[in-house]
């Protein structure tokens, strides 16, 4: 006989409290490719490296994005790059790709260093002994970088409004997805969501009008690229919101966990300090090859706390994944969290050991940015941004825990429950 059926009704409270742990338990008990025969939509919980490769890479065209996760996201982003698929996705990906080439990343480097110094200044401005709220501070730092990437300097005024409205809308979407009330009912939360989406639309319309009035001078400006390609306003709006959703909270989450892990691992923190102290002057683009250990620390934090803790797909046709039959229509849930902490795949999986990424090839069971044709388009940007924000901060400052480790909330990304206070102190000398 197959795996015993999972009592989903009894599981509901655990699913809501810690869905990442529930999925890990499912794969531990029922196998790394665990079929859950739910009546309407069959589900496959997947944490098997070969299976993940099959779904995301080798048979990527056999899977689409019409899943609960992406449908919910699409109520805010529309069918943008992250939530959409098919011909429109292919065209749009080609249009925006040049913004992520190396020349564009060079600009990101400068903004990242500036944002890192901003973090240091925020810490210095606190009363002595008062911890810095790191999730909030990295969120603000990330905003600065995302604003410049999207529409050159244009978003400095509108980006905070946009990000806040998008954030509130997403929170409502997540809460509504966890509620038993059907989403189509005329509840107060449905009306609030409509209001937040209307705010997002207003801000986007303003950004587009501003941008359309200027020529395309900067070839890395995302909005400019899309307008030049003749995309309709509605489509540009969807991609703009997509980049805010995909590029803002993910980076803030990952920066936060990296700082938390470094603060709790003094020997790793020492090695980072040694590395950044050896740079001449402020860090910059050319220093990236001189920061291999810091980069490995970011990689290792992304293993332990992958912001995208699940990646979902809908099977477009029957398939076989890791030996398990997958009927068309199946919801495949790739559980990045489980894959990244599987004791059969990783040595001491719970330990923070950046060394495991030094000079090591990236492997199938490490997918913080996904894999295959839908690989995160912002991966290199995010890594450049994070390494340079951290280098700029840790050149002058060090970090120390302000309390016991925080539990993890698995929402849109992984967040420390109640935020993350951290002592950020100026280094002597
Ligand atoms: C896609 C993670 C930063 C834009 C993805 C996917 C993952 C991911 C896992 C694949 C989703 C799937 O296959 O269903 C992350 C993480 C980040 C990060 C962990 C930071 C640490 C960024 C940034 C941007 C961005 C900075 C943009 C500026 C996108 C877009 C997609 C995407 C547009 C959809 C790509 C496509 O399907 O063509 N990201 N991301 N991401 N990400 Fe990121």
For the chain, 429 residues long, give each residue's pLDDT as a single digit of tens: 344 556 666 777 777 788 999 999 999 999 999 998 777 889 999 999 999 999 999 999 999 999 988 998 899 999 999 999 999 999 999 999 988 887 778 888 988 999 999 999 999 999 999 999 999 899 888 877 877 776 554 455 677 778 788 888 888 887 777 666 666 777 888 888 899 899 889 988 887 887 777 766 665 678 888 888 999 999 999 998 898 888 888 999 999 999 999 999 999 999 999 999 999 888 999 999 999 999 999 999 999 999 999 999 999 999 999 999 999 999 999 999 999 999 999 999 999 999 999 977 768 899 999 999 999 999 999 999 999 999 999 999 999 999 999 999 998 899 999 999 999 999 997
Rounded distance between C-alpha atoms, residue 362 and residue 60, angstroms: 20
Q: Name the residue of 378, 385, 386, 410 whose CB sits within 8 Å of the most ligand 1 atoms, as the mutation to test its pocket.
A: 378
CA of 75 to the centre of ligand 1 (A): 18
Beta-carbon-side half-sphere exposure of residue 393 (alpha carbons within 13 Å): 33
Residues touching ligand 1 (Cβ under 6 Å) are 81-82, 93, 149, 242-243, 246-247, 250-251, 254, 307-308, 311, 368-370, 374, 376-378, 381-382
Of the CA atoms within 13 Å of residue 228, those in its CB half-sphere come to: 17
Query: Do 78 and 366 meet the contact criterion of CB atoms below 8 Å apart?
Result: no
**Total-model pTM:** 0.94
CA-nearest residue for atom 8, ligand 1, is 369
Structural domains in the chain, sorted by start: 8-18+69-308+377-424 (1.10.630.10)
Rounded to whole angstroms, how far apart are CA atoms 143 and 381? 14
pLDDT in tens, 347-394: 999 999 999 999 777 688 999 999 999 999 999 999 999 999 999 999
Q: By alpha-carbon position, which residue is closest to atom 34 of ligand 1?
A: 82
* Residue 403 Rama label (left phi>0; alpha psi -120 to 50; beta): left
Cα 409 to Cα 163: distance, rounded to the nearest angstrom: 20
Q: How far apart are CA 272 and CA 270, in angstroms?
A: 5
The H-assigned helical ranges of 152-307 are 155-177, 188-212, 222-228, 233-247, 249-264, 266-277, 292-304
DSSP 56: I
Name the residue with tokens 């810690």.
18
- The number of beta carbons lying within 10 Å of the beta carbon of residue 8 is 11
How far, in Å, are 23, 61, 82, 129 from residue 137 at the CA level?
A: 31, 39, 26, 17
């Amino acid at each position: 006989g197959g795996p015993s059926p999972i009592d989903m009704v009894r599981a509901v409270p655990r699913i809501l409290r810690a869905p990442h742990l529930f999925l890990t338990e499912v794969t531990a008990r029922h196998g790394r490719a665990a079929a859950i025969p739910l009546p309407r939509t069959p589900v496959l919980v997947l944490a098997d490296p070969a299976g993940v490769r099959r779904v995301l890479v080798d048979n990527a065209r056999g899977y689409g994005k019409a899943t609960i996760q992406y449908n919910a996201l699409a109520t805010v982003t529309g069918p943008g790059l992250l939530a959409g698929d098919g011909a429109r996705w292919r065209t749009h990906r080609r249009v925006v790709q040049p913004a992520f080439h190396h020349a564009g990343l060079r600009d990101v480097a400068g903004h990242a260093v500036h944002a890192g110094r901003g973090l240091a200044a925020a810490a210095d401005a606190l009363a002595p002994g008062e911890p810095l709220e790191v999730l909030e501070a990295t969120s603000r730092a990330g905003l600065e970088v995302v604003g410049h990437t999207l529409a050159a300097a244009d978003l400095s005024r509108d980006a905070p409004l946009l990000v806040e409205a998008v954030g509130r809308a997403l929170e409502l979407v997540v809460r509504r997805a966890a509620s038993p009330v059907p989403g189509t009912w005329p509840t107060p939360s449905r009306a609030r969501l409509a209001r937040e989406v209307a705010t997002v639309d207003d801000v986007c319309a303003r950004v587009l009008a501003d941008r359309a009035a200027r020529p395309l001078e900067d070839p890395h400006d995302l909005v400019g690229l899309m307008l030049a390609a003749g995309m309709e306003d509605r489509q540009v709006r969807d991609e703009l919101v997509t980049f805010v959703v995909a590029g803002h909270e993910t980076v803030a989450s990952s920066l936060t966990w990296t700082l938390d892990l470094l603060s709790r691992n003094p020997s790793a923190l020492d090695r980072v300090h040694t590395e950044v102290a050896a740079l001449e002057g402020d860090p910059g683009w050319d220093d990236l090859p001189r920061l291999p250990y810091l980069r490995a620390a970011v990689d290792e934090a992304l293993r332990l706390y992958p912001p995208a803790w699940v990646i979902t797909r809908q099977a477009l046709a029957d398939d076989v994944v890791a030996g398990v039959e997958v009927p068309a229509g199946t919801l495949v849930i790739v559980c990045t969290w489980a894959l990244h902490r599987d004791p059969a795949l990783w040595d001491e999986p719970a330990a923070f050991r950046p060394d495991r990424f030094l000079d090591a090839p990236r492997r199938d069971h490490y997918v913080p940015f996904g894999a295959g044709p839908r690989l995160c388009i912002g991966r290199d940007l995010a890594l450049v941004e994070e390494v340079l924000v951290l280098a700029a901060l840790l050149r002058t400052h060090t970090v120390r825990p302000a309390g016991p480790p925080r539990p993890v909330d698995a929402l849109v990304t992984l967040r420390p429950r109640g935020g993350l206070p951290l002592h950020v102190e100026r280094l002597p000398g």
